Structure formats: structure tokens, C-alpha cells
Structure 1
Amino acid sequence: MSVLTPDRVFASSPITDKDEAIREAGRQLVGAGAVTDSYVDAMFDREKTLSTYMGNFLAIPHGTNEAKDEVLDSALVFIRTAAPIDWDGNEVRFVVGIAGKDGGHLEILSKIALIFSEEEEVEKLLAAPDAEALYALLGSVNEE
């Protein structure tokens, strides 16, 4: 099963702030059947204790360990914002909502980290013309 599907890749989201970004990522994960509404609250709880800004214009909001029972399935949501948003003083263009069933989030996180560790890959993601092109660039997250 693919953790990322084309319908969960957004190329030009009008999101303008961090709270809105977390809410939208959570809403998409709920819509995908991956998490309960309570998990979205846990995403905000996580952010209060530890920023999920990762560098290279990337933030990966996710729930707390206590919320792992609210994860129903593994899924990923990829949102590129139309304009940079302020994430605790850092510029973010990519918001990746993540839910991993039975610890699967660590494997998913490492695949995302690999993509974003290469500045060249980040440039390609910034330049991609649409969601289809973004999805093609992110295909490795679905590989076993």
C-alpha cells in the first residue's frame, strides 16, 4: 500500500500560517482514514513541546507518542504552500503531515529526510509545476 497517493499532494496551498498548516495536514490525514480527530489535537500538542521544523523549508507536523492509538493507518500528506509561511521564525514552503501505524512513521520520516537532505531535490520540489510533478519527485517514499 502507498503511504502517499496523488490526491494527497497539494502544489499551491493558500495556507498562510503554522496553525492553519497543521490543521490542514491533520484534516487531510483524517480524510484519508489514517487518523482520528484526536490525533490532530496531538499534532498541536507536539508542536507546543517541540517544533517540527526540519530545515530546507520543511516542517513535518505529527502527533505525540501518547496519540499513537489514534493512528488507524500509515499515510502521508504533502503540501507545498503558494508563499512561504513563518514556522517559529523559519521559512517553510513544504508541510508534510505524517501518520505511521505500528511505528511506521520512522521509516517514512527517514525517506522524507533523504529527499530533503539534498538541496538539488528541494530545488526540484520548489520548481515542480503541479501536484503531478511533485508526486513523481516524491515516489521514493512509497518504495518498500
Structure 2
Amino acid sequence: MAQNIISSDKIMLNASVENKGEAIRLAGKLLVEKGHVTAEYIEKMLEREEMLTTYLGNGVAIPHGTNDSKQWIKTTGISIVQVPSGVDFGDGNIAYVIIGIAGRGDEHLEILSKLAEVCMEEENIKAMVQATTPEQIIEILEKGE
């Protein structure tokens, strides 16, 4: 994955969150802080979650904005929030890795498919949950390409 899409300063380790809304806000805040999106995008991420869960399986959720949120995306990027104790994404689905996505144009589709490949392998998710540095998480994602 291109260096500017994911970087260690967009990875939060050992986060403790009360609920999925808080987890999504953290993922969105990292994207805002690094200039990928404006603050409005976070609300669209939450709105998207209400419409249909972004829980992917294997302990991973990939929150992203609604179709009408493109205007608030400045550049393509992803953020990662590691929640070792897990957060309930509904229906008993517990997410340990929350990957926030903002994609210009159709770039989010390419990112989603790459992430889905990495996240299909349970050992990759376990490694991301147990990672102690952002670099370890980046390595797992890049190895999966």
C-alpha cells in the first residue's frame, strides 16, 4: 500500500472504547488529523454504520463514509484503531481492529479489496491485535498485497 495511504501516525494501539460509535470516531479523527478528510466525514462514517454494519468478519470492521460523503474527502487514506479488548459492532460481532477508510474517486474499492484479502487470514488479524508497534501492523498489511 502506498506510503501516504497508511503511516504509523494513523495507527492507534491499545485503544479502549465504550462502543462502536466511539471506535468509528477515533478512526475518523486520525483521518481528519492527517488531512485526508474534513470533520464532516466522521458523521458520514457513523451514518453509514447505521445503514449497514461495516463489520467484515474475523474481528475486523472497516468503517467508511456514505456515497454522498465524497465532498469531504481530500486525499485517500486509511487509519487503524487496535482495540485488544474488542468492541461490539452488533449481533455479537466483536471487532478488535477498526480500519477507517477514505478514498478519492473509486480508490476506496481497490483499498477495500486489498484489506479484505489481508483480513481473510485469521493469523493476520491475530498479529494485528497483538502488534506492539504501528510498524508491525503496516508490515502485515503490506505483506498481504
Same structural fold, with TM-score higher than 0.5 when normalized by the shorter chain:
yes
| Separation of aligned partners in 2, 1:83 and 1:126 | 9
1:1-144 alignment to 2 at 5 Å? 1-2=2-3, 3-88=5-90, 89-140=92-143
- Per the TM alignment, residue 53 of structure 1 is displaced from its structure 2 partner at its CA by 0.5
- Per the TM alignment, residue 140 of structure 1 is displaced from its structure 2 partner at its CA by 4.8
SS of residue paired to 1:138? helix
Read off the aligned partner of 1:93 and give its amino acid letter. Answer: Y
Normalising by structure 1, what TM-score? 0.91
- Per the TM alignment, residue 11 of structure 1 is displaced from its structure 2 partner at its CA by 2.2
| Separation of aligned partners in 1, 2:23 and 2:129 | 17
CA-to-aligned-CA distance 1:53-72 (integer Å, 9 cap, x gap) = 10000001110001111111
| Separation of aligned partners in 2, 1:129 and 1:122 | 13
Contact 2:27–2:99 (CA under 8 A) maintained in structure 1: yes
Q: Give the fraction of aligned pairs with identical amino acids, expressed as a percent.
A: 37
| Separation of aligned partners in 1, 2:88 and 2:113 | 24
| Separation of aligned partners in 1, 2:123 and 2:49 | 28
| Separation of aligned partners in 2, 1:70 and 1:17 | 24
Normalising by structure 2, what TM-score? 0.90
- Per the TM alignment, residue 135 of structure 1 is displaced from its structure 2 partner at its CA by 2.0
Read off the aligned partner of 1:86 and give its amino acid letter. Answer: D
Q: CA RMSD in A?
A: 1.6
- Per the TM alignment, residue 52 of structure 1 is displaced from its structure 2 partner at its CA by 0.5
Moved over 6 A (4+): none
Gaps of at least 5 residues in structure 2 are none
Read off the aligned partner of 2:8 and give its amino acid letter. Answer: P
Read off the aligned partner of 1:85 and give its amino acid letter. Answer: V
- Give the number of aligned pairs: 142
